[in-house]
Amino acid sequence: MARLTRVCPVGVPQHIIQRGNNRQVCFAGEQDFAAYAGWLKDYSKKYQVDIHAWVLMTNHVHLLCTPRVENEVSSMMQALGRQYVRYFNYSYKRTGTLWEGRFKSCLVEEESYLLQLYRYIELNPVRAGMVDHPSDYAWSSYSINALGKTSELCKPHRLYLALGREKEERQINYHALFNHHVDETLLEEVRVAVNKGLVLGNERFKAEIESLTGRRMKAKSMGRPLGWRKEMPCDI
């Protein structure tokens, strides 16, 4: 079965997940995290993809990004994935695949969900029980977005910049977003959207993306269609 072409409109944010094959470890040491982050910076610049938020976990990666050129998110992820696999296999004297097939992604409505995705991504180490607070985890964008650490990798989205006129004001308001954990309803919405390659947004946004791309962007209803028994042939 042919793979569906990814939907990658210019200027529409995307949430990306890249997992290790069979959830195997893909970062075994600090040098691995640093290598991946460095190449992510290089390839995001090369393919003109703005990275807003990220976290590197032991066996998977989350990114929130916006392409400035059509379809270049895939180019970035393919180049990054190949480069890192060569490095990892050489470093650990191994062969074969590292990643779980193609990366997963979904389009994100800015107004309702973008800052929620910032929070969802940077709280991953807390939900995993690795740290008590996102500031305790080194390999995420939290220290950049909330604490003002200088970075050539992260580029703030306009909604992040709208949190305040000055850098310090933005950091304070951003930090306040983390006073509460992500609720279960949003967690499920995010997981369904990215795993099925759908859209994270309201009905209007989904309809706009469907009209733009000609692709269904809503999850199908579970179960058989209403009235299916009446439509069954009599000789079944």
Q: In the predicted model, what is the mean pLDDT of the chain?
A: 90
Please, which residues have CB within 8 angstroms of residue 73's CB and are 6 or more apart in sequence? 6, 8, 14, 16, 47, 49, 65, 67, 105
Q: Strands (DSSP E) along 14-97, which ranges?
A: 14-19, 49-56, 60-67
Per residue in 67-101, pLDDT (tens digit) is 999 889 999 999 999 999 999 999 999 999 999 98
φ, ψ of residue 55 to 5 degrees: the values are -150, 135
**pLDDT score of 212 more than 90:** no
Per-residue pLDDT, 10: 93
Instruction: Reply yes or no on whether the pLDDT at 48 is more than 70.
Output: yes
The per-residue pLDDT for 119 is 97
Q: Which domains does the chain have, with CATH numbers?
A: 14-213 (3.30.70.1290)
Calculate ∠ Cα 157-49-151, nearest 5°.
Answer: 60
What letter represents residue 144's amino acid?
I
The string of pLDDT tens digits covering residues 100-109 is 988 999 999 9
DSSP per position, 188-226: HHHHHHHHHT-EES-HHHHHHHHHHHSS--SPPPSSSPT
**pLDDT, greater one: 113 or 223:** 113
Query: What value does the mean pLDDT take over residues 152-175?
Result: 96
Supply the pLDDT for residue 7: 78
Cα 236 from Cα 134, distance rounded (Å): 58
pLDDT tens digits, one per residue of 166-195 = 999 999 999 999 998 889 999 999 999 999
Indicate left, alpha or beta for 89 from its phi (over 0: left) and psi (-120 to 50: alpha). Answer: alpha
